[in-house]
């Protein structure tokens, strides 16, 4: 579905990602793990066009998106949920959802689908997003991304700083999304157990390079921990 092929990118003259290749399976999850500073977020920013690739390619369904602007990549089917439960804090939950749904043919249906996926948001529709808890804002951020009807959902640390009960909800939602089909997920996640339980394939980054890759599942956890020296 989504392929990052020998991608190199960075900030100014400083190269952070040194020829990384990652493939997101159709209807499945590719998990990217690594310590802070390994280059995980930089890689995601290159995937969605917030950083230009100095070399390499970004392909979606075989189409080369490497030179596309972020908005064009969204139109083609990429959705990005950055780290930090981002939303428009002065707008209500309902307004945050409507802002994305406006102009879409089935906007009302798309909002209703996300409210079914995240039922906790139903009672929060009139509340300003800035007053939501971290877990609630994260659910809202994922719901907003899904309204764009992506082919690939890119999630950067979706469970960071969230209370355990909501972490479980988000984990179950991500698994449910991939099971129902039509969506691939590129997941950056610090919780190794969850990342491997969700993933069909994993990649470990260190200093901007892939140092280990393999098949997802709990059986791979010792190999991942060894690669990360945990």
Is the confidence at residue 38, as pLDDT, over 90? Answer: yes
Is the confidence at residue 178, as pLDDT, over 90? Answer: no
Residue 19 · residue 210 · CB < 8 Å: no
**Alpha-carbon dihedral sign for residues 44, 72, 172, 93:** positive
CATH topology of domain 2-86+150-227: Rossmann fold (3.40.50)
| Distance of alpha carbon 218 from alpha carbon 48, whole angstroms | 29
Alpha helices in the chain (DSSP H): 40-47, 70-76, 93-101, 107-117, 134-147, 164-179, 192-198, 221-227
Residue 192 · residue 221 · CB < 8 Å: yes
Q: Tell me, what's the pLDDT at 85?
A: 66
Is the confidence at residue 211, as pLDDT, over 80? Answer: yes
Sequence ranges of the domains in the chain = 2-86+150-227
Provide the 10 A C-beta neighbour count for residue 32: 28
pTM exceeds 0.95 for this model:
no
Please write the tens of the pLDDT for every residue from 129-161: 999 988 899 999 999 999 999 999 999 999 887
Please write the tens of the pLDDT for every residue from 45-66: 999 999 999 999 999 999 999 9
């Amino acid at each position: 579905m989504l392929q990052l092929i020998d991608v190199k990118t960075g900030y100014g003259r400083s190269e952070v990602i040194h020829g990384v290749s990652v493939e997101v399976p159709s209807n499945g999850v590719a998990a990217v793990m690594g310590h802070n500073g390994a280059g995980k977020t930089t890689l995601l920013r290159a995937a969605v066009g917030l950083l230009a690739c100095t070399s390499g390619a970004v392909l979606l369904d075989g189409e080369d998106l490497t030179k596309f602007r972020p908005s064009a990549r969204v139109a083609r089917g990429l959705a990005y949920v950055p780290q930090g439960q981002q939303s428009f804090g002065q707008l209500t939950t309902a307004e945050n959802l409507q802002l994305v749904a406006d102009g879409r043919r089935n906007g009302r249906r798309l909002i209703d689908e996300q409210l079914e996926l995240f039922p906790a948001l139903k009672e929060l529709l009139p509340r300003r997003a800035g007053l939501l808890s971290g877990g609630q804002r994260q659910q809202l951020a994922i719901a907003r991304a899904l309204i764009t009807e992506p082919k690939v959902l890119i999630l950067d640390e979706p469970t960071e700083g969230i209370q355990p009960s909501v972490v479980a909800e988000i984990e179950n939602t991500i698994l449910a999304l991939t099971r129902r089909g039509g969506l691939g997920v590129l997941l950056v996640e610090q919780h190794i157990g969850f990342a491997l339980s969700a993933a069909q394939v994993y990649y470990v980054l260190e200093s901007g390079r892939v140092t280990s890759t393999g098949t997802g599942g709990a059986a791979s956890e010792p190999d991942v921990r060894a690669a990360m020296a945990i």
